[in-house]
Amino acid sequence: MDYGIDIWGNDNFFIGNKKVKINHKSSPSLVKITNEIREKGVRGPILLRFPHLIEKQIKLIYQNFENAKKEFDYQGGFNAVYPLKVNQYPNFLKNLVKIGQKYNYGLEAGSKAELMLAMTYNNENSPITVNGFKDKEMISLGFIAKEIGHDITLTIEGLSELKNIIKMSKDRFSVLPNIGLRIRLHSSGVGIWAKSGGINSKFGLTSTELIEAIGLLKKSDLIEKFSMIHFHIGSQISEIGPLKKALREAGNIYAQLKKMGAVGLNAINLGGGLAVEYSQHKDEIKRNYTLREYANDVTYLLKDISTRKDVKEPDIFIESGRYIAASHAVLIAPVLELFSQEYTEEKLKLKEKNPPLVQELYELYDTINSTYAQEYLHDSIDHMNSLLTLFDLGYIDLIDRSNTEVLVNLIIKKAIALLKDRDSKELLQIQDMIQERYLINFSIFQSLPDFWGIEQNFPVMPLDRLDEKPTRSASIWDITCDSDGEISYNREQPLFLHDLDVTKEEYFLGFFLVGAYQEVLGMRHNLFTHPSEATVFVDKDGYRIENILEAQSIIDIMEDLDYNTKEVEEILKKKIENSNFIDDKAKKHILEEINYFLNDNGYLKTIN
């Protein structure tokens, strides 16, 4: 069982010596890294960041476009910027900026806060692009970025923004940011994120508005500052067709605008959208192109249009974020409990004289073997249904019912063990019926919000025991008290995990490709916060764990919600002092306990 690692893993991980290992330099296992962090006292879910995977993605993008430019003898330049909205966490961003320096990899900002981050951390000589709606303040910020030396392009979403820029260019100092125009295409992307493109999209100028914009720019002597057209047809573009269509449309608009006197126009920015393959199952693969194909198509198409329309080949800008960030983070979450684990033989309370069907169940359990496993399994499930009816009718008591539950569970476990080397459809169906619920120490709302919101699946697998065939069909429960906090077993994309005794061994699940969007979209349902995190540098001789940040403490979350934490502490203290149930010594002890809990994070430690 390889959990589809060849489909979603991109050779970033491999299975070696039963464990998931990092396919880079000294190739440490994820379990080893996890245990080392836990030895420092960190409990609960841990997000691991791998800067070498950020580097890999950045390098791939530049390499593929450089190759494509060579192949088609493309005269324009290639530039990329990282869209900050995908992940703004400092231990990701600072590494990205450092790695991106030698490529002049820039940043894209979509809000004032992101623009401030870009102005602070962007490498000198790397471009900044700004998208999204802008008020006057945000436009001033764009001007300031230019005034302090950044190469910045403000992409306007509507004519009123352009008018504000024109006005401000008269009021401020001599240097001006470049201006980009977001164009509204009639082409749009496919899939759940397709809304960013298309004639009804939220963003961009129509042809009529474009013509008006050119007029305004000329009239105010700013036409030379208009350097870029921009579009973005949506995230996670799974098929290349719609992108090619959008490019043809954008290429023709570029050529037209140049002919209309846009002398400074020299770049087309195709936004983001490069897709990540999240599937763990061959028949669920979504992406139908490679990065090489994407780079070749873009370059070829723009070359072709420019030649035919006799205009200079534009510089190509891309803003792919998901493709850069997704793979760098892995969430490691411990299994706390298996819900049917309590069904052991010791739990049986057989009577001197049991109802006949219970007695039969016991015999099935006692004598089951590989020849009859399937048959006995069917019989036991039939018996269980009959016994449950008998209970409803008042013919058997709660002890009989408990014995039924325990025996059926024991029979199923034995049957699965006996049948596990046969990949029968039957077995799959049985497993559907008897899925095991794994309680995992994490919050789906916090760590996989896109699963909750748009049913995006993320690859998941255990970190160890990968030489053993997992026998339990698994559904995953998080620790929020919300019934949506569940990844249920799905017959089309089945997940199997190992049977285990959580009192005797630790078992960790890894959730992969969680580095894009999930962290900032994550919500604090039940006040579970961003998990603890660590950055792992893998080198020839081993690895270095840096920047271990523990999940926020309970008192800090309260402060974030604007509670007066002094007040919280005082009220709790008073309640302890005024309690009539305990003496002074106990009070002192309880106060210490409360302080410890307030200053610790809210994730669970262990259940057993």
Ligand X SMILES: *Cc1c(COP(=O)(O)O)cnc(C)c1O
Q: CA 358 to CA 368: how far, in whole Å?
A: 15
Query: What are 346's two structure tokens?
Result: 């010791």
Shortest Cβ contact with ligand X: which residue?
272
Find the binding residues for ligand X in span 95-114 (CB under 6 A): 108
Residue 274 or 444 having the CB closest to ligand X: 274
Q: Is 272 in the site for ligand X (CB under 6 A)?
A: yes
Q: Which stretch binds ligand X (CB under 6 A): 133-141, 320-328, 357-365, 498-506?
A: 320-328
Three-class SS state of 14: strand
Strand 315-318 relative to strand 13-16, pairing: unpaired
Three-class SS state of 553: coil
Residue 203 or 226 having the CB closest to ligand X: 203
Beta carbons within 10 angstroms of residue 201's beta carbon: 20
- To 10 degrees, what angle do helices 398-419 and 373-392 make? 160
Three-class SS state of 179: strand
Q: Which stretch binds ligand X (CB under 6 A): 205-213, 265-273, 505-513, 525-533?
A: 265-273
Q: Is 321 in the site for ligand X (CB under 6 A)?
A: yes
**Are 138 and 152 contacting, i.e. CB atoms less than 8 angstroms apart?**
no
**Are 82 and 105 contacting, i.e. CB atoms less than 8 angstroms apart?**
yes
Closest by CA position to 210, among listed 239, 179, 232 = 179
Q: Which stretch binds ligand X (CB under 6 A): 232-240, 377-385, 567-575, 579-587?
A: 232-240
Residue 58 or 274 having the CB closest to ligand X: 274
Q: Is 197 in the site for ligand X (CB under 6 A)?
A: no
Residue 132 CB, shortest distance to ligand X, in Å, is: 7
Q: Is 322 in the site for ligand X (CB under 6 A)?
A: yes
Residue 242 or 272 having the CB closest to ligand X: 272
Residue 324 or 463 having the CB closest to ligand X: 324
Q: CA 582: distance to chain centroid?
A: 48
Residue 400 or 450 having the CB closest to ligand X: 450
Beta carbons within 10 angstroms of residue 263's beta carbon: 11
**Are 28 and 541 contacting, i.e. CB atoms less than 8 angstroms apart?**
no
Greatest pairwise CA separation for the chain in angstroms:
100
Q: Which stretch binds ligand X (CB under 6 A): 271-279, 302-310, 417-425, 555-563?
A: 271-279
Q: Which stretch binds ligand X (CB under 6 A): 12-20, 268-276, 467-475, 583-591?
A: 268-276
Helices (H) and strands (E) in the chain, counts: 21, 20
**Are 472 and 434 contacting, i.e. CB atoms less than 8 angstroms apart?**
no
Query: What are 22's two structure tokens?
Result: 């990092």
Residue 217 CB, shortest distance to ligand X, in Å, is: 21
Q: Is 86 in the site for ligand X (CB under 6 A)?
A: yes
Q: Which of 100, 198, 271, 449 binds ligand X (CB under 6 A)?
A: 271
Residue 185 or 410 having the CB closest to ligand X: 185
Q: Find tokens 């039969």 and name the residue.
A: 360
Q: Is 83 in the site for ligand X (CB under 6 A)?
A: yes
Residue 271 CB, shortest distance to ligand X, in Å, is: 4
Residue 43 or 85 having the CB closest to ligand X: 85
Alpha helices by DSSP H, 221-344:
241-259, 291-309, 322-325
Residues comprising the chain, all counted: 608
Q: Which stretch binds ligand X (CB under 6 A): 48-56, 318-326, 378-386, 598-606?
A: 318-326
Which residues of this chain interact with ligand X, rule CB under 6 A?
83, 85-86, 108, 131, 232, 235-236, 271-274, 319-323
